[in-house]
Structure 1
Amino acid sequence: MPRASLAGNALTVIIAIMSFLASLTVGAVGVVREAASSWQGQVLREVTIQIASAEGRDMKAAVNKAVEIARSTPGIANAVPYTDADIMRLLEPWLGKNIALDELPAPRLIVVRIEEGKTPDFNALSTRLARDVPGASLDDHRAWLEKLRITGNALSGFGLAILLLVLFATALSVLFATRSAVSGNRDVVEVLHVVGARDGYIARAFGRRFLGLGLRGGLIGGGLAVLLFAFADWSSGAAGQPGSEALLGRIDMSLAGYGAILLVGIFIAVLTTVTSRLTVMAHLRRLD
Structure 2
Amino acid sequence: MTNASPIQLRFAQLRDQGRCALMPFLMAGDPELDVTRSSLLALEAAGADLIELGIPYSDPLADGPVIQAAASRALAAATTPGRVLEMLRSLQGELTIPVILFTYSNPLLNRGMEAFCREAAAAGAAGLVVPDLPLEEAETLSAIAAGHGLDLVLLVAPTTPPERMARIAASSRGFTYLVSVTGVTGVRTTIESRVADLVRQLKALGPTPVAVGFGISGPEQARQVRDWGADGAIVGSALVKVMAEAGATGQDGASAAGRFCGELRAALDA
Instruction: Settle same-fold status: TM greater than 0.5.
Output: no
Structure index of larger Rg:
1
Larger helix share, 1 or 2: 1
Higher relative contact order (CA 8 A, sep 6+): 1
**TM-score normalised by structure 2 residue count:** 0.21
**TM-score normalised by structure 1 residue count:** 0.20
